[in-house]
Structure 1
Amino acid sequence: MKLVNAELLKIRTTPTWWIFGLILLPLYVISVLINWVSAAAVTSTEQGGGDVTAQQAEQIRVAGESVNVATNLYTSGQFMGVLMVLLLGAILVTNEFFHQTATTTFLGTPRRERVVLAKFAASALLALVFWLVLTVLNLIVVPFILHSVKIGPHLGDPAVWRAIGLNGLAFGLWAILGVGAGVLIRSQIGATVTLTAVYVVGSQAFAAVFFLLSTYVADWFTYLQVIMPTTASQLMISGTDLPGSPPRWVGAAVLIGYTVLMGLIGTAIIKRRDVS
Structure 2
Amino acid sequence: MSRFMDAVRAEWLKVFTTRSWWVLGLVMVLYIGFTAALMALLTSSLFGPSGDMPLEGTGLTTMVYSLGTAMGYVFPVLIGALSVTAEYRHNTITPTFVSVGQRGPVLTAKVAVQGTLGLLYGIAALLSAVLASVFFFMGQGMSTGLAEGGTWMMFLRSVIAMGLWAVVGVGLGALIRSQAGAIVVVLVFTQFIEPLARMAGGFNDTISQVTKFLPGSASDAFVGSSIYSEITVGGAGQTLLWWQGGLVMAGYGVVVVVAAWLTRWRADVS
Name the TM-score, length of structure 2 as normaliser.
Answer: 0.84
TM superposition shift of 1:18 = 1.7
1:30 to 24, 28, 34: 34
1:14 corresponds to which letter in structure 2?
A: T
d(CA) in 2 for partners of 1:66, 1:81: 25
Report the equivalent of 1:152: 143
8 A Cα contact 1:89 1:175, kept in partner: yes
Report the equivalent of 1:267: 261
TM superposition shift of 1:102 = 1.2
Report the equivalent of 1:3: 7
The alignment status of 1:234 with 2:214, answered yes or no, reads no
Report the equivalent of 2:110: 119
The alignment status of 1:181 with 2:172, answered yes or no, reads yes
The 5-angstrom pairing of residues 11-160 of structure 1 reads 11-36=15-40, 37-38=42-43, 40-41=45-46, 46-47=52-53, 66-160=57-151
The alignment status of 1:249 with 2:243, answered yes or no, reads yes
TM superposition shift of 1:268 = 1.9
Instruction: Structure 1: give runs of 5+ residues left out of the alignment.
Output: 49-63
8 A Cα contact 1:223 1:246, kept in partner: no
d(CA) in 2 for partners of 1:175, 1:220: 30
More displaced stretch, 198-207 vs 233-242: 233-242
8 A Cα contact 1:31 1:77, kept in partner: no
Name the TM-score, length of structure 1 as normaliser.
Answer: 0.83
8 A Cα contact 1:3 1:115, kept in partner: yes
- Aligned pair count reads 256
1:230 corresponds to which letter in structure 2?
A: G
Q: Secondary structure at the match of 1:273?
A: coil
CA offset digits 1:26-46 (Å, max 9, x no partner)? 311332035312455455775
More displaced stretch, 153-162 vs 170-179: 153-162
1:77 corresponds to which letter in structure 2?
A: G
2:250 corresponds to which letter in structure 1?
A: I
d(CA) in 1 for partners of 2:46, 2:114: 37
d(CA) in 2 for partners of 1:67, 1:224: 29
d(CA) in 1 for partners of 2:22, 2:223: 26
Seen in structure 2, the aligned counterparts of structure 1 residues 126 and 83 have a Cα distance that, compared at 3 Å, is: same
d(CA) in 2 for partners of 1:191, 1:9: 23
CA offset digits 1:91-150 (Å, max 9, x no partner)? 100111111111111112232111101001111111122222223334433331222343
d(CA) in 2 for partners of 1:191, 1:156: 41
8 A Cα contact 1:235 1:251, kept in partner: yes
Let me know the Cα RMSD of the aligned residues: 2.6
The 5-angstrom pairing of residues 192-203 of structure 1 reads 192-203=183-194
Report the equivalent of 1:55: none
d(CA) in 2 for partners of 1:34, 1:203: 24
More displaced stretch, 144-153 vs 233-242: 233-242
d(CA) in 2 for partners of 1:231, 1:196: 16
Identity of aligned residues (%): 27
Instruction: Structure 2: give runs of 5+ residues left out of the alignment.
Output: none
8 A Cα contact 2:79 2:166, kept in partner: yes
CA offset digits 1:160-183 (Å, max 9, x no partner)? 111100001110000000000001
d(CA) in 1 for partners of 2:60, 2:13: 39
